Amino acid sequence: MPGSPSPTGPSDHADHAGRTGFPDEIRRLRARLARSHLLDLATGVLAAQLRLSPAEAAEHLDALADATGLTAEDLAVRHA
């Protein structure tokens, strides 16, 4: 069809070349999402148990991590 891009046109080659990093990017995004979910759950548990606001609970989790030398993720996993 006139005006339609050709299936083997330059834009297809550029799209294909840019896809090589997709699996790595997807893994990074999934890991970030899992980390965020874990920290949200831990923050929610602290907020409920200590009757804190979510922001205060997040600060408390960070303070606990600093005090123990662990990451917030490690604390969340150890106490899940």
pLDDT at 13: 47
DSSP string of the chain?
A: -TTSPPTTSHHHHHHHHHGGGHHHHHHHHHHHHHHHHHHHHHHHHHHHHHT--HHHHHHHHHHHHHHHTS-HHHHHHHT-
Instruction: From residue 63, give the alpha-carbon distance in Å to each of 2, 10, 11.
Output: 64, 53, 50
Q: What are the tens digits of pLDDT across the range 66-80?
A: 999 999 999 999 876
Q: What count of Cα atoms within 13 Å lies in the side-chain half-sphere of residue 61? A: 27
Give residue 3's pLDDT band: very low, low, confident or very high (50, 70, 90).
Answer: low
pLDDT digits (tens, 9 = 90+) for 42-62: 999 999 999 999 999 999 999
Q: What is the pLDDT of residue 63?
A: 97
pTM greater than the 0.85 cutoff: no
pLDDT of residue 35: 95
Percent of the chain scored above 90 by pLDDT? 69
